[in-house]
Amino acid sequence: MLIKVCKNYSKKNKFIKKLSLNFPDTQIKVKSCIGMCKHCRSLPTANIDGKKFKKKSIKKFIKAVKKEI
């Protein structure tokens, strides 16, 4: 699984750490743009294997990704 995270997210380091703990076999890349410019700065957003995900919190984001897998 490939997870692309926007570099402009304010809590980027915490988000990447939580993703790597919950999904240890994934590859996480920090990109300059993932095509979700209205949400990148304030919400946890990522492009996961071509699908765009956004949630209001990191915890909800991880739950949604686990549900999709």
pLDDT above 80: residue 69: no
Write the pLDDT tens digit of every residue in 15-53.
999 999 999 999 999 999 998 888 889 999 999 999 999
pLDDT above 90: residue 68: no
C-alpha angle 53/59/65, rounded to 5°?
A: 40
| Count of domains forming the chain | 1
What's residue 37's pLDDT?
Answer: 86
Range of the domain at 63: 2-68
Indicate the pTM of the whole model.
Answer: 0.90
What's residue 38's pLDDT?
Answer: 87
Give me the numbers of helices (H) and strands (E) for the chain, helices first please.
Answer: 2, 4
